Structure 1
Amino acid sequence: MELGYVILYVEDLDASIAFYRDVVGLPYKFTDAGYAEFGTDGTKFALYERRRAEWLTGRAVAPGPAAEIVLVVDDVDACAARLSSAGVAVLSGPADRPWGHRTLHIADPDGFVVEFAQEIPRARSRRT
């Protein structure tokens, strides 16, 4: 099985496109019928207008930050500096995590948490 897409249902598609393109820095690909897609390696990342979700899912989709997007980057501290200089509020970090990531958290226009994660040496081992 392969994870093909991650799609967030958003309130304001234009605001969310601007956030992920201009603030986060994801390469924007296209918009079509309430759907916007970004250029990411592997799994596709996209946005879909929440108001259109009932047509797709058969029921309304409730708003709320019930998801976290994790973007793996080379330098979390450089991301933090870039985001701070752009006036983006940082929720947490940068901070070293024992599972082997240095992380930074911000929120998108719908309240979804966006984590930037840099791989670092693990401070604890996994149970098997």
Structure 2
Amino acid sequence: MTDDPDELPTPQAVVPQVAEMRLVVTAEDYNAALAFYRDTLGLPERAAFSSDGGRVTILEAGRATLEIADPPHAAYIDQVEVGHRAAGHIRVAFQVPDAAAATRRAELAGATVVKEPVVTPWNSLNARLEGPAGLQLTLFEELG
């Protein structure tokens, strides 16, 4: 693989090989995490399975994208949303219709608000939270 943009395949030449992306989260408190993401954030349940002493629930999260940022841009996003470097190498962002209301619901359901909603340079209202299972979350509302 090369970092030279002239040697990378053009988007037209790339044939999609992935049909679905699943972010798999191992949660020590499975019930609390499930209640938060399903009931508080409203992610519909697609399927649930159990194994010998274990459980998994698959929740729909709308359209999924994989956002890849280099460390300087990740630091810039943290600076805009939080004011300092806050996220680890994974942060989950959910687009919501009302970032302020979703932040309040998430906080009442046990999430820790890292930063209240702020208007970003890319014209969205973003809040940063620490959610169940240690996930750093951005709840964002597109402003137009």
Q: Would you call these one fold, judging by a TM-score over 0.5?
A: yes
Moved over 6 A (4+): none
2:139 alignment counterpart: 116
* 1:21-100 matches, cutoff 5 A: 21-33=38-50, 34-43=55-64, 66-100=89-123
Question: Aligned equivalents of 2:136 and 2:127: distance in 1?
Answer: 10
* Structure 1 residue ranges without an equivalent (≥5): 45-64, 122-128
Q: CA RMSD in A?
A: 2.5
CA distance in 2, matches of 1:108, 1:3: 27
User: Unpaired segments of 5 or more residues in structure 2?
Assistant: 1-15, 66-87
- Output the TM-score relative to the length of structure 1: 0.63
CA contact (8 A) 2:27 2:133 kept: yes
Shift of the alpha carbon at 1:75?
1.2
Structure richer in helix, relative to its length? 2
Q: Percent identity?
A: 22
More strand by percentage? 1
Equivalent AA in structure 2 for residue 67 of structure 1: I
Q: Secondary structure at the match of 1:5?
A: coil
TM-score (norm 2): 0.57
Paired position in structure 2 for 1:60: none
CA contact (8 A) 1:10 1:16 kept: no
Q: From the CA coordinates, give the structure whose radius of gyration is larger.
A: 2
Aligned length: 101
